């Protein structure tokens, strides 16, 4: 019988000396180089051994020149999408991209003109805002509503935004970061219908789609028939396999006109390819071994999420949004003072660096996001410190 590998997520692995942003940028963002970091959304859990081995093997060859986009990459992507997300995709409309944010920027340049606007549902991952602005486009911000402890879409407000003549593109985070909503088919259908009605291209950022906790399942926009004409769907192995530094992402665009426009934007920026190790990683990760790793990872992360939410809920006045997806927990600290006061308390008294809600747009002010993809022996004592500091306030 084949021996099953059990992945070790418990043993802490030091990232010091690797230039990891989460560690190295602490002084710059938090004014303290030693505070324990739970901010940047990458995992402090190791990339699986089979993937590390394959990269090591390739790095043993002494030449790192230009490489083709070979079939094995696209076969691996199609296998993963079918096996893990029940989505049929074809190589003909699969494009490689160095990162999801690069693809967001390409979509903005392909489907909108300077001075036009991009709709989004906030709070949302900061570059949805910053990428729009640095491309000289305006943000049509549609705040999400909190209902029964989770984010819901205000369709009336969304329709109003999409109806604006200057709005040509909508950026959707599916599943949602920072709130961890895994949007349902019905919710996605409604968004797709509205975008189709108002002639708006829909960009679905599905980077967190592998991290959805059973029994909830990720619903891809790829499986909504009406979306074929209007959607760009982006995914990556960055979150799932802790390979964001390898920059390997991919995009599906079924509508040939939208695909051509996106390709032209990639050609202008010369960013339609990914690096050699990203290719090796994609081909290796998106495999049955990768699926088994993902299954074990999800079980570990889910336990972390439940323990963190359970502990934080002991604090009176702290509202904790339990995620259906992502390894992130989004919490409302507004009962404890303005965000600067809370920010300082978190750093100075609890010795933790969390992502501040302002990064996710104005709707995030006063909220903080904790990254739970850390070994429990590191994560839980840090959460206990937060509980003790804010229970005493
Ligand atoms: C929703 C979302 N999109 C994109 C990214 C970044 O992806 P990439 O590194 O591929 O640009 C992140 C990282 O946190 C994210 O949360």
86-120, pLDDT tens digit by residue? 999 999 999 999 999 999 999 999 999 999 999 99
* Best of 98, 101, 325 for a ligand 1 pocket test (most atoms within 8 Å of beta carbon): 101
Distance CA 18, CA 44 (A): 12
For the Cβ of 176 lying below 6 angstroms from any atom of ligand 1, the answer is no
User: What's the CA-to-centroid distance between 347 and ligand 1, angstroms?
Assistant: 25
Pick the more confident residue, 214 or 3: 214
Residue minimizing CA distance to atom 14 of ligand 1: 41
220-264, pLDDT tens digit by residue? 999 999 999 999 999 999 999 999 999 999 999 999 999 999 999
Q: Say if CB 218 and CB 325 are below 8 A apart.
A: yes
> Which ligand 1 atom lies nearest to the CA of residue 236?
10
Residue minimizing CA distance to atom 15 of ligand 1: 125
For the Cβ of 287 lying below 6 angstroms from any atom of ligand 1, the answer is no
For the Cβ of 103 lying below 6 angstroms from any atom of ligand 1, the answer is no
Given this model, what pLDDT does residue 5 score? 85
Using 50, 70 and 90 to split pLDDT, how confident is the model at 1? low
Given this model, what pLDDT does residue 4 score? 80
127's enclosing H/E stretch is helix 127-134
114-126, pLDDT tens digit by residue? 999 999 999 999 9
> Which ligand 1 atom lies nearest to the CA of residue 98?
10
Q: Say if CB 23 and CB 32 are below 8 A apart.
A: no
Q: Could you tell me the sign of the dihedral formed by the alpha carbons of 306, 311, 317, 318, in that order?
A: negative
Tokens of 312: 């934080």
49-63, pLDDT tens digit by residue? 999 999 999 999 999
Q: Could you tell me the sign of the dihedral formed by the alpha carbons of 93, 100, 128, 224, in that order?
A: positive
The domains located in the chain, with CATH, are 21-48+289-391 (3.90.1150.10), 62-287 (3.40.640.10)
User: What's the CA-to-centroid distance between 177 and ligand 1, angstroms?
Assistant: 9
The percentage of the chain sitting over the pLDDT mark of 90, rounded to a whole number, equals: 98
């Amino acid at each position: 019988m084949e021996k099953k590998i059990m992945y070790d997520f418990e043993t802490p692995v030091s990232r010091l000396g690797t230039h990891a942003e989460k560690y190295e940028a602490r002084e710059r963002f938090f004014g303290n180089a030693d505070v324990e970091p739970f901010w940047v959304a990458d995992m402090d859990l190791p990339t699986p051994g089979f993937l590390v081995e394959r990269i090591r093997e390739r790095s043993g060859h002494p030449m790192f020149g230009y490489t083709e986009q070979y079939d094995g990459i696209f076969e691996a992507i199609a296998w993963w999408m079918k096996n893990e997300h029940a989505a049929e995709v074809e190589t003909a409309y699969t494009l490689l991209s160095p990162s999801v944010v690069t693809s967001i920027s390409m979509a903005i340049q392909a489907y909108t003109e300077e001075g036009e606007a991009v709709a989004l549902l906030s709070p949302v991952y900061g570059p949805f805002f910053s990428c729009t602005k640095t491309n000289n486009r305006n943000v049509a911000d549609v705040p999400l509503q909190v209902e029964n402890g989770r984010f819901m879409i205000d369709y009336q407000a969304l329709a109003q935004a999409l109806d604006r003549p200057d709005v040509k593109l909508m950026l959707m985070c599916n599943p949602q970061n920072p709130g961890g909503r895994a949007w349902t088919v019905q919710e996605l259908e409604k968004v797709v219908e509205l975008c189709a009605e108002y002639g708006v291209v829909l960009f679905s950022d599905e980077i967190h789609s592998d991290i959805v906790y059973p029994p909830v399942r990720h619903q891809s926009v790829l499986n909504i028939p009406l979306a074929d004409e209007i959607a760009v769907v982006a995914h990556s192995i960055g979150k799932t396999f802790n390979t964001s530094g390898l920059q390997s992402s991919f995009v599906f665009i079924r509508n040939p006109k939208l695909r051509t426009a996106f390709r032209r934007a990639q050609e202008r920026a010369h960013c339609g390819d990914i690096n050699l190790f990203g290719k090796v990683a994609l081909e290796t990760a998106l495999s049955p071994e990768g699926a088994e790793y993902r299954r074990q990872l999800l079980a570990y992360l889910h336990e972390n999420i439940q323990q963190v939410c359970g502990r934080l809920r002991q604090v009176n006045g702290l509202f904790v949004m339990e995620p259906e997806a992502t390894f992130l927990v989004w919490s409302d600290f507004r009962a404890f003072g303005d965000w600067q006061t809370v920010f300082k308390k978190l750093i100075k008294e609890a010795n933790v660096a969390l992502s501040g809600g302002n990064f996710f747009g104005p709707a995030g002010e006063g909220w903080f996001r904790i990254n739970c993809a850390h070994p429990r022996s590191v994560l839980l004592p840090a959460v206990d410190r937060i509980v003790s500091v804010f229970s005493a306030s």
